[in-house]
Amino acid sequence: MVFLIEVSAANLVDCIDHLLAEDGIFISESHYLLSLIETLQYDTIYHEHLRYYSVTALKSLLEMHGFEIIYAKRIPTHGGSIRVYAARKGRYPVDASLRELLDNEKRNITKQTLAQFASAVTQSKLDLLGLLKEIKVGGARVYGVGAPSRASTLINYVGLDNGILDCVLEIKGSYKIGKYVPGTTIPVVEEERLFLDQPEYALLLSWHIADELIPKLTSRGFKGRYIIPLPKPRVH
């Protein structure tokens, strides 16, 4: 029997406090709010990602429970995450780089930057639709590559359907094959179709790892061009 329990951030830190040795160090990784803003990753906002932390927020949360951040660094996971090292207050020296991260957040996470983020999200939607309109008017086919959860956010927000995106491709064995992208009638099919059909364009729905995907797909035989939807829609 499996029990699913909703745990608040505060309760989670209480549990860490209970389990951690007195001189222990707690390490966490979470999607970084500043990276989300900088790279316009609105597509990563969905039901599995309920919180988007800044170091400032994590510092406040941990200090309420007698912990302090002793070191933190940005890492590339999920298009930009933050790795935080915390310990009980006063146990270890605090790395000087922490102040740099906090000062950078103070400058770059403001009401103004959040308003700019909202405006940029809208503009990116219009830009992507404009790009796809030109492509489809020319009679070209567009296949989506990958069906991660973030793809559903992007596809539904932009308003894509099977008249724009012919299909979405998933690796062999995926349970998503034979179904549809949620909220649409865009079919999910096996990735091999990309190499058999050779559509003119492939829309990279896992665009945050485009630098890894493009060489792999090209080496496997795809001859078309790639559309990278965010942060600014472009053809590669």
**Co-location of 143 and 194 in the same domain:** yes
Same domain for 94 and 58: yes
Q: How confident is the model at residue 52 (pLDDT cuts 50, 70, 90)?
A: confident
On whether both 43 and 103 belong to a single domain, the answer is yes
How far apart are alpha carbons 37 and 107 in whole angstroms?
A: 13
Q: Are residues 96 and 144 in the same domain?
A: no
Question: pLDDT tens-digit profile of 59-85?
Answer: 999 999 999 999 999 999 888 899 999
CATH code for position 146: 3.40.50.720
Q: What is the pLDDT of residues 162-207, one digit of tens each?
A: 999 999 999 999 999 999 999 999 999 999 999 999 999 999 999 9
On whether residue 114 sits in a domain, the answer given is no
Q: Could you tell me if 151 and 89 lie in one domain?
A: no
pLDDT of residue 63: 94
Rounded Cα distance, 15 and 83, in Å: 19
Same domain, yes or no, for 135 and 187? yes
Residue 67: domain span: 9-109
CA distance 155 to 12: 33
Domain limit, last residue, from 109, 138, 158 = 109
Q: What is the pLDDT, as a whole number, of residue 3?
A: 41
Please tell me whether residues 39 and 16 are part of one structural domain.
yes
pLDDT digits (tens, 9 = 90+) for 119-133: 999 999 999 999 999
Is there a single domain that holds both residue 63 and residue 152? no
Flag whether 42 is in a domain. yes
40 within some domain: yes
Same domain, 129 and 170: yes
| DSSP3 helix / strand / coil % (the chain, rounded to 5) | 40, 20, 35
The residue-averaged pLDDT of 147-161 equals 94
Judge if 133 and 217 occupy the same domain. Answer: yes
Mean of pLDDT over the chain: 92
Q: pLDDT value at position 230?
A: 95
Residue 2 lies in a domain: no
Q: What is the CATH number of the domain that holds 65?
A: 3.40.50.150
Boundary (domain end) residue, out of 82, 109, 136:
109
Q: Tell me the three state secondary structure of residue 14.
A: helix
Total domain count, the chain: 2
Q: What is the pTM of this model?
A: 0.85
186-201 per-residue burial string, b: 16 or more CB within 10 A, e: under 16: bbbbbbeebeeeebeb
State which of 80, 109, 138 marks the end of a domain.
109
133 and 230 assigned to the same domain: yes
Q: How far apart are CA 213 and CA 148, in angstroms?
A: 14
> Residues 73, 148: one domain?
no
